[in-house]
Structure 1
Amino acid sequence: MNFKNLFLILGLLLAMSCKTQKDVSKIEGKNININDSLQSITSIENFIKPYRENINRDLDSILAYSVDTYSKSDGHLNTAIGNLMADVIYEEADPVFFKRTGAHIDFVLMNHGGIRSIISKGPISKRTAFELMPFENSIVVSKLPGANVKELLDYLAKAKRAHPISKLKIVLDKDGYLAESSVNQVPIDFNKTYYVATNDYLINGGDGMDFFKGSEAVYVLDYKIRNALIDYFMKTDTINPVADDRFIQLTD
């Protein structure tokens, strides 16, 4: 090959490269509606079938039994399902926190909107936990000064919503103002700090819970709420949660 031919080939390649770059710079797209009208590809379906079946078997394996159906709309200031979730978080997370810090969680606060499903009467499976908590929220513990605990209580008194709590008791007077508050049956001392278990959404001020921004320290447990539920269900034969007096309003 002589130099003339070589330069001709190089010129053609350069021209093609420039043309290709020019074409690529223009990107076009269109919306494809994903619905039942799309035909499945048999080879792909056959490939993923055993994995899907294995996952479904795991999700549907029975862990416990529920004596009734529970919903977050069942009560006003506290609900059976909310009480269950908060109590589970305390029971499962406190040993983890104690092992790492030598301290115990004082109380738990989660958000009402974080409960994403009911618990149906009958068998409870891993799928139940995934339906209750489809998000990847994890448990964190806030070291919260007393002044911010007071803000927390004021928030709950004003919201008058069944945000799940555990080890915390709140009594409102007939006009809706805070009358009593205690942790583990001991009146709250606003000169102390308290270890409050919550989730990684609320710790950043989610749902308007800005009082958590005053945390002196935040401990990340690397423990998902969903996994805490699964761990609890695995060791519990039957669940029968109830609405109780942990958050009430006096009528007179």
Structure 2
Amino acid sequence: MTIKQTLKLCFLLLIFSCASSKISKIEGERLTIDENINPKTEIENFIKPYREHVNKDMDNVISYAPETYTKSDGELNTAIGNLMADAVYDEGNPVFYKKTGKYIDFVLLNHGGIRSIISKGNVTTRTAYEVMPFENSVVVAAIKGDKVNEMMTYLANAKRAHPVSRQLQLTITADNEVKSATVHKEPIDVTKTYYVATNDYLYNGGDGMTFFKPNDGLTVLDYKIRNVLIDNFKKTDTLHPVRDNRFIKLNF
């Protein structure tokens, strides 16, 4: 018998074997998971001390908010957005300097990344988790001034309160054109390299922010935005975020 004939015979035997095999019938049942499910007592008792420990840490008071702050309290800059961007600058700058010997020029975050309000009253660790539940971390991109100008055009066209830190000042016209843009009160220099802190989601093109690439380098701070907020909140008894003129629109 040739190899070809042998292969044909094996193929036929396989077909007949499959045809004669019994196919098992698989049945399933859909289980609804809701508040009506009673927890297992032994599992609940095992988890209880861990849950209580976590809740104690999460509800630890680390600051106080005299007002309620939301991401809808301003057209192009909000108190909560300004707070977040400034916190990334203040907490991230020493880390960046230690890694590179350089300073962050300014910070850009995204409006959609603010996931909760800061309610009037005690500010806790849980507050930071609610405002920033994602695992986004701080990165610093080294980009030329022409890319910074692209960023300004993006912000003008986006017409959203994307948080920027106080080192940047952007004014746009009623027609959403860039009227003026400065970093550290100086006009943007297209030949200069600027060190812009953001989060890893935006650096990779999130929200259509493609101006971070190409660049002259990237520094990963290994510092989550959420941890930035926690560290920043702990430094003051009372939060005092405000709206200001860092990103404004003219009415004429």
TM range (shorter): 0.7 to 0.9
1:248 corresponds in structure 2 to 248
Shift of 1:56: 0.4
1:195 corresponds in structure 2 to 195
In the TM superposition, what whole-angstrom CA distance separates every residue of 1:196-248 from its partner, at most 9, and x where no partner exists? 00001000000000111222211111000000100011111100111100001
Contact 1:145 / 1:214 at 8 angstroms: preserved in 2? no
2:140 corresponds in structure 1 to 141
Shift of 1:39: 1.3
Mapping for residues 4-83 of structure 1, pairs under 5 Å: 29-83=28-82
Task: Report the Cα distance in structure 2 between the residues aligned to 1:209 and 1:227, rounded to whole angstroms.
Answer: 24
Shift of 1:114: 0.1
List gaps (5 residues or longer) in structure 2: 1-20
- Decide whether aligned partners of structure 1 residues 23 and 208 sit closer, same or farther in structure 2, where only a CA change above 3 A counts: farther
Say if 2:101 is the partner of 1:102: yes
1:214 corresponds in structure 2 to 214
Which residue identity does 2:162 align to in structure 1? H
Task: Report the Cα distance in structure 2 between the residues aligned to 1:27 and 1:136, rounded to whole angstroms.
Answer: 40
Task: Report the Cα distance in structure 1 between the residues aligned to 2:219 and 2:240, rounded to whole angstroms.
Answer: 31
Q: How many residues in Structure 1 have an aligned counterpart in Structure 2?
A: 231
1:182 corresponds in structure 2 to 182
Task: Report the Cα distance in structure 2 between the residues aligned to 1:147 and 1:188, rounded to whole angstroms.
Answer: 8
- Decide whether aligned partners of structure 1 residues 248 and 34 sit closer, same or farther in structure 2, where only a CA change above 3 A counts: same
2:151 corresponds in structure 1 to 152
Shift of 1:173: 2.0
Cα RMSD after superposing both structures: 1.7
TM-score, normalised by the number of residues in structure 2: 0.88
1:16 corresponds in structure 2 to none
- Decide whether aligned partners of structure 1 residues 30 and 145 sit closer, same or farther in structure 2, where only a CA change above 3 A counts: farther
2:131 corresponds in structure 1 to 132
Which residue identity does 1:123 align to in structure 2? N
List gaps (5 residues or longer) in structure 1: 1-21
In the TM superposition, what whole-angstrom CA distance separates every residue of 1:3-61 from its partner, at most 9, and x where no partner exists? xxxxxxxxxxxxxxxxxxx9999876554321011110001101110110011011001
Which residue identity does 2:57 align to in structure 1? D
Task: Report the Cα distance in structure 1 between the residues aligned to 2:25 and 2:150, rounded to whole angstroms.
Answer: 55
